[in-house]
Amino acid sequence: MTTLVAVGAQWGDEGKGKLVDWLAPKAQLVVRFHGGNNAGHTLVVDGHTTVLHVVPAGVLNPGTINLIGPGVVVDPGELLIELEALKERGVLRDPSRVRVSGRAHVILPWHLALDKAREEKARDRAIGTTGRGIGPAYEDKVTRRGIRVADLLNPEDLRHQLDRLAEQKNFELVEFYNWKPIDVEALWEQAVEWGRQLEPYVDHTARTLDRGLRDGMNVLFEGAQGTFLDIDHGTYPYVTSSNCVAGAVCAGAGIGPTQIDRVLGITKAYTTRVGGGPFPTEEQGEFGERLREAGSEFGATTGRPRRCGGLDVVMLRESATVNGFTALAINKLDILSGIGELKIATGYKIDGKVRNDFPMTLGELERAEPVYETQPGWTEDITGCRTYESLPDNARAYVDRVEALVGVPVEIISVGPGRDETIARTDPFRPL
């Protein structure tokens, strides 16, 4: 039995979905533990692209059970659409392969409306959220008025819960944001229907996870977003509303810290960010545009162009610290082929002083000018490489340099979006 937590080391979209799908054949359980359908995880298998938002990326592997843990926020309508599409394709013949925690909180139409209304009102201070209601849903969870998946199965009590919530939510929507109220009667009918359709999937997932661990299963935990979008460790307030770091797996899935064996940090070979907030190595000129074109850097959830720039090891070192990475995966190395000399940020100049630690405040980060070292590039197409040794010398030198600068071994290198376009230097599920 081995447990492996896979999390994003940057601002999301590092290629977590691709790697979770690739790792899944070795795991019997794949578990999402935080976030919601703000995530967009892209899987390319035999030329067919699947984008998942809340269903774990183990689902294309027939041998896995996929758990949506209590730390996730679930938009029931969107989850049902995702499940239906998987069923139609014949990928999800057995519904018991997807289990949703009854304790996961539900994203309601109020949350979507408030997310949008707040962003509109914030104007130039907007976070650039995905508009999926994530922040407002977590807010209701923490203020202890949220509605959970299991509540959808109990229509009578649900009606009282919705009535209570409506008082506060519609007041805020109408009086503060000048938006239309949400009709509780219609919402209740809709929510009861969601409950009816979701019932076969609802589970006490922490218990299922515990049973799996006792039975000696390999378990893969699938992070969403990334370390710098984490509510505590990220570039606050330009973050999401959940903890994205590896430690969040304990509360979000229901597993003790003593049961985590390995933590895989996933990074791109360069850096991207979607939404607002500071980004020290952002390249707004031609180089950024080339990365965006070559890497097809457009959001999997909202289609927004992603901001692009060079690799930042100041960030990766901070990430390694707060997550306890035991290994790194470097994705999209193929995108750097033919791009010329490669810059790696190793420090920041802030107020005239060079530092190599990640700053504590947003103000310092906004003033940070990256200090770069350069690495020679390579021109060869590397998408066919399946071993580290077969990579061009300069591509290997780039990987080695990142490994040395971050101080964490690079165990996986991804050279294309396809499942098999992956180089593994060791088995991530090898026994300890």
Which entry of 34, 41, 111, 233 is annotated as an active-site residue?
Answer: 41
* Identity of the residue, 13 or 297, whose beta carbon is nearer to Mg ion in the bound complex: 13
53 catalytic residue (yes or no): no
Residues near Mg ion, by CB under 5 A: 13, 40, 300
- Give the nearest distance from C-beta 228 to ligand IMO in angstroms: 10
Residues near ligand IMO, by CB under 6 A: 8, 11-13, 38-41, 127-130, 132, 134-135, 224-226, 229, 240-241, 274-275, 300
- Give the nearest distance from C-beta 275 to ligand GDP in angstroms: 13
Interacting partner of 127 out of Mg ion, ligand IMO, ligand GDP, none (Cβ under 5 to 8 A depending on kind): ligand IMO
Nearest to 402 by CA among 336, 358, 346: 346
Element (H, E) at 88: helix 76-88
Residue 18 makes contact with ligand GDP by CB under 6 A: yes
The interface with ligand GDP within residues 29-88 (CB under 6 A) comprises: 39-42, 44
CA distance 273 to 289: 13
Let me know: does 347 contact 314? Beta carbons within 8 Å. Answer: yes
- Give the nearest distance from C-beta 234 to Mg ion in angstroms: 16
In the chain, the N- to C-terminal Cα span, in Å, equals 9
3-state secondary structure of 430: coil
Residue 17 makes contact with ligand GDP by CB under 6 A: yes
Query: What does the block give as tokens for 164?
Result: 């209570």
* Identity of the residue, 97 or 419, whose beta carbon is nearer to ligand GDP in the bound complex: 419
The interface with ligand GDP within residues 293-312 (CB under 6 A) comprises: 300
232 catalytic residue (yes or no): no
DSSP string, 347-408: EEEETTEEE-SPPSSHHHHHH-EEEEEEE----S--TT--SSTTS-HHHHHHHHHHHHHHTS
Judged by CB under 6 A, the residue of 75, 151, 334, 411 near ligand GDP is: 334
- Give the nearest distance from C-beta 292 to ligand IMO in angstroms: 14
* Identity of the residue, 52 or 182, whose beta carbon is nearer to ligand GDP in the bound complex: 52
Q: How many CB atoms lie within 10 A of CB 156?
A: 8
Element (H, E) at 67: strand 65-68
Residue 415 makes contact with ligand GDP by CB under 6 A: yes
Let me know: does 20 contact 45? Beta carbons within 8 Å. Answer: no
* Identity of the residue, 210 or 282, whose beta carbon is nearer to ligand GDP in the bound complex: 282
CA distance 417 to 358: 30
* Identity of the residue, 224 or 314, whose beta carbon is nearer to ligand IMO in the bound complex: 224
Q: b vs e for 42-80, b when ≥16 Cβ sit within 10 Å of the residue's Cβ? A: bbbbeeeebebbbbbbbbbbeebbbbbbbbbbbbbbbbe
Contacts of 289 (CB under 8 A, 6+ apart): 308
- Give the nearest distance from C-beta 50 to ligand GDP in angstroms: 10
Residues interacting with ligand GDP, by CB under 6 A?
8, 12-18, 39-42, 44, 300, 331-332, 334-335, 414-417
Task: List residues with catalytic annotation.
Answer: 13, 41
